[in-house]
Amino acid sequence: MPYDPENVFAKILRDEIPSTRVYEDAEFIAIRDVAPAAPTHILVLPRGDGPIGPADLQDADAPWVGRMVVLAARIAREQGLTETGYRLVVNCGRDAGQTVPHLHLHILGGRMLHGLG
The number of beta carbons lying within 10 Å of the beta carbon of residue 11 is 13
Alpha carbon distances (Å) from 41 to 22, 53, 55: 11, 19, 23
114 is catalytic: no
CB distance 40 to 22 below 8 Å:
no
Catalytically annotated residue among 41, 102, 104, 106? 104
CA–CA distance, 110 with 99 (Å, rounded to integer): 23
CA–CA distance, 103 with 109 (Å, rounded to integer): 20
CB distance 9 to 102 below 8 Å:
yes
Active-site amino acid positions:
104
